[in-house]
């Protein structure tokens, strides 16, 4: 890791934060601009969330971590690697170091990756989840990836039906975008999804790669600041990553599968949706051990239970009264500072008041060419 040779412009920026009802003072974020990209020192992130440094080192493969007894963030060893509660996430921008040796995290990653996961109840356009649109990634003549052991469309159809059953037991309305006899285009599946209110969208797939690559990987739409032209899916940038994290954490913890990480990318179907959406790659069709597990009914049921648990975790955080009922522990744990930082309404206006929020800094909307 090198300190940027480019000119570093440092400015103190006190953001115009709305004072919460309990009159907490505004947090003054230090913004350090390198190569035109605004970064925030890890020290500010630590201070805002009231974390403590857990490990502080510098060196070619140093890992820095912060957290508390409920939350742990580890950076590295790669410059785009973050582990939150032990689950792998890919940062939008590589982290850097300031000239004084502080780890710097892009402002985009603080506001569009970290904060929605750590404090999903602060997502401004959150909507209660009533309907789950399940998208078996392939159907009809479209079989997806196939190997000697498995065919993606057969697998995704089986698991979609089992998941539908599990979610109906948990009182969700369930919509399937296609079945084994039909093939619907991305556009048709997006139209089905757009017709639903209070919905989330989960696309089920299998991965392919080298024969020794295995594990579960979760995707969601890349956030707006990195798109030349923001897509409809960007309306839910914050909810997208909170949903992806809840699903991924539940999947990895329930199955013990290899953690292939959470990534953000541009899938045309996900990008075109108007509700929180994630895509899960539940294993590799090209890996023998993964296929053995995926072909077992018991393992498929474990995957369904995990997905439903992840949906429950996300849905709990999206409830209008979520600030007063912390989400269950399956996916993510609210930081210990949660109670302190959550806005509190006075007793008489708890129903009427929209909670006011103390937000992490918003990323600038300058246009930049996506590097993807």
Q: Which residues make up the interface to Zn ion (CB under 5 A)?
A: 137, 144, 205
CA distance 312 to 327: 9
Least distance CB 154 / Zn ion (angstroms)? 12
List 265's β-bridge partners, or say none: 221
Least distance CB 217 / Zn ion (angstroms)? 12
83 versus 146: smaller Cβ distance to Zn ion: 146
CA distance 199 to 177: 13
Least distance CB 285 / Zn ion (angstroms)? 9
260 versus 315: smaller Cβ distance to Zn ion: 260
144 versus 215: smaller Cβ distance to Zn ion: 144
Least distance CB 178 / Zn ion (angstroms)? 12
Least distance CB 137 / Zn ion (angstroms)? 4
38-59 burial by CB neighbour count: b if 16+ within 10 A, else e?
bbbbbbbbbebbebeeeeeeee
114 versus 204: smaller Cβ distance to Zn ion: 204
Least distance CB 136 / Zn ion (angstroms)? 9
Residue 180 burial (10 A CB sphere; 0-12, 13-18, 19+): middle
For residue 167, the Cα-to-chain-centroid distance in whole angstroms is 21
120 versus 136: smaller Cβ distance to Zn ion: 136
Cα separations (Å) of 12 from 26, 32, 35, 224, 247? 13, 8, 17, 25, 37
Name the phi and psi angles at 34, rounded to 5: -125, 130
27 versus 183: smaller Cβ distance to Zn ion: 183
For residue 24, the Cα-to-chain-centroid distance in whole angstroms is 28
DSSP state at residue 22: T
Q: Which residue is nearest to Zn ion (CB)?
A: 205
Residue 281 burial (10 A CB sphere; 0-12, 13-18, 19+): buried
């Amino acid at each position: 890791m090198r300190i940027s040779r480019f000119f570093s412009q440092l400015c103190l920026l006190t953001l115009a934060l709305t004072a919460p009802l309990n009159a907490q003072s505004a947090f003054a974020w230090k913004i350090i601009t390198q190569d035109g990209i605004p970064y925030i020192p890890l020290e500010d992130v630590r201070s805002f969330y009231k974390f403590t440094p857990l490990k502080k080192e510098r060196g070619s493969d140093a890992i820095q971590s912060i957290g508390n007894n409920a939350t742990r963030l580890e950076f590295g060893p790669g410059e785009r690697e973050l582990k939150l509660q032990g689950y792998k996430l890919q940062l939008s921008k590589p982290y850097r170091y300031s000239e004084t040796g502080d780890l710097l995290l892009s402002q985009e990653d603080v506001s569009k990756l970290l904060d929605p996961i750590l404090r999903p109840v602060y997502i401004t356009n959150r909507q209660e989840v009533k309907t789950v649109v399940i998208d078996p990634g392939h159907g009809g003549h479209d079989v997806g990836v196939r190997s000697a052991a498995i065919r993606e469309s057969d697998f995704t159809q089986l698991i979609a039906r089992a998941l539908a059953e599990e979610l109906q037991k948990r009182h969700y309305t369930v919509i399937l975008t296609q079945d084994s006899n039909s093939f619907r285009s991305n556009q048709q599946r997006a139209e089905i999804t757009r017709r639903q209110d209070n919905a989330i969208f989960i696309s089920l797939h299998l991965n392919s790669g080298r024969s020794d690559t295995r594990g579960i990987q979760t995707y969601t739409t890349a956030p707006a600041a990195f798109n030349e032209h923001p897509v409809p899916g960007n309306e839910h940038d914050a909810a997208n990553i909170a949903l992806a994290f809840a699903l991924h954490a539940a999947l990895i913890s329930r199955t013990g599968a290899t953690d292939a990480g959470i990534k953000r990318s541009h899938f045309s179907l996900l990008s075109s949706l108007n509700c929180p959406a994630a895509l899960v790659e539940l294993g590799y069709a090209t890996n023998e051990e993964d296929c053995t597990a995926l072909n077992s009914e018991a393992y498929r049921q474990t995957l369904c239970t995990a997905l439903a648990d992840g949906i429950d975790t996300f849905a709990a955080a999206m409830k209008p009264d979520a600030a007063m009922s912390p989400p269950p522990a399956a996916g993510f744990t609210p930081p210990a500072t949660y109670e302190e930082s959550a806005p509190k309404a006075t007793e008489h206006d708890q129903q009427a008041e929209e909670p006011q929020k103390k937000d992490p800094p918003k990323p600038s909307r300058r246009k930049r060419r996506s590097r993807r």
